[in-house]
Structure 1
Amino acid sequence: MSITFQPARPADLPAIMAIEHAGFTPAEAASQASMAARIAAYPETFITAHQAGRLVGYVVGPAIQRRHLTDDLFEIAQPNSKTAPYLAILSLAVAPEVHGQGIGSALLAALSDLGKRQHRRGLTLTCLAKLVPFYTRNGFVSDGQSASTHAGEVWFDMVKQL
């Protein structure tokens, strides 16, 4: 089945939050207010995936100046800078019923393509150890353990050069 992509809209918030809560622990998940702020602050780098007219996944990638994201990005949504060299992936999530269909990888490819069109240097994210192989398969390289303490977890910095 084909996947279409579009910028996140405020009307997408209920579907986004359902997927967010299915994919992340309560400590890791963004609040509804935080997610609404992200949609408002950087809709051009908040991409939703749709299958048969239904929102089935999303990736949130605000533009930042640094190679690695910092925990304050999870709390404060500021408009994208046109000159920031990196897109920082704060969330990549796919509805559980469509896992294994390549939607997460397709969202990463869509954000990579957008980053190239915007002349960004790369994509950056933090992930749990269990997800390092997934991101490696999608062109990311590990920069080792992150300084992030988000949700009390151990995170790993991953970067994909564009």
Structure 2
Amino acid sequence: MKGVDAMKITDAMAADLPAILRIERLGFSAEEAGSAAQYRDRLEKLTGTFLVAKVAGQVVGFVVGPATTAAYVADWMYEQTPRNLPTGGHQLIYSIAIDPAYRGAGLGSRLLAAISERARAAHRETLSLTSLERNVPFYEKNGFINRGVAMSDHAGETWYNLVKPL
């Protein structure tokens, strides 16, 4: 994949929203995917924990989630984005998605490493997300521990809590 070595990870900006929404729709079912309004809210509230990966100035992936006192993602958080704690707590991940043309090049692992680095700098205890069963091996490869079935009925799917101690 051309330019992947020159990938830059930066904070997401409002101008990135169309590309973020395109990648979200390519990576998730209509029931799972966040809306434009939800992503605008996340851009406003999640400064420092909403990162994009860019190749040649084009968004090719992103990771987003709040830093909260809650150790796990709860379904209500998708609708009402909590504001980030300044320090401490847990770094949650709502979504990590890579443009299909760039999958398999390690970009997802690099985004996880970048958000982990920011979480450590802010003295977070864990990195936590929910995942469909088919993606659990990817997260385990990246240091996450499967804590079992989540208390989620998001999109009518079975989700698993994955946690990475920091």
Aligned twin of 2:75: 71
Q: 2:8 is aligned with what amino acid?
A: T
Query: CA distance change for structure 1 residues 59 and 81 in 2, over 3 Å: closer, same or farther?
Result: same
Partner residue of 1:30?
34
Give the TM-score taking structure 2 as reference length.
0.95
Find out whether 1:102 has 2:112 as its counterpart: no
What is the CA deviation profile of residues 46-70 of structure 1, one whole-angstrom value per residue up to 9, with x for unaligned ones? 0000112111000002111122110
Question: Pairwise mapping of residues 11-160 of structure 1 onto structure 2 (< 5 A)?
Answer: 11-160=15-164
Shift of 1:99: 0.5
1:138 alignment partner AA: N
CA distance in 2, matches of 1:2, 1:140: 27
Over the residues paired in the alignment, what is the CA RMSD in angstroms?
0.8
Q: Hey, which bits of structure 1, 4+ residues long, moved more than 4 A?
A: none
Q: Which runs of 5+ in 2 are unaligned?
A: none
3-state SS of 1:69 partner: coil
d(CA) in 2 for partners of 1:101 and 1:43? 26
8 A Cα contact 2:88 2:123, kept in partner: no
Q: Name the TM-score, length of structure 1 as normaliser.
A: 0.97
> Sequence identity, in percent?
42
Retained in 2: the 8 A contact 1:61–1:111?
no
Q: CA deviation at 1:84?
A: 4.4
- 8 Å Cα contact 2:88/2:122 also seen in 1: no
Could you list the runs of 5+ residues in structure 1 that have no partner in the other structure? none
Deviations 1:75-132 (A, max 9, x none): 1123211244111100000000001010000000000000001110110000000011
Q: Which residue identity does 2:11 align to in structure 1?
A: P
CA distance in 2, matches of 1:129, 1:34: 25
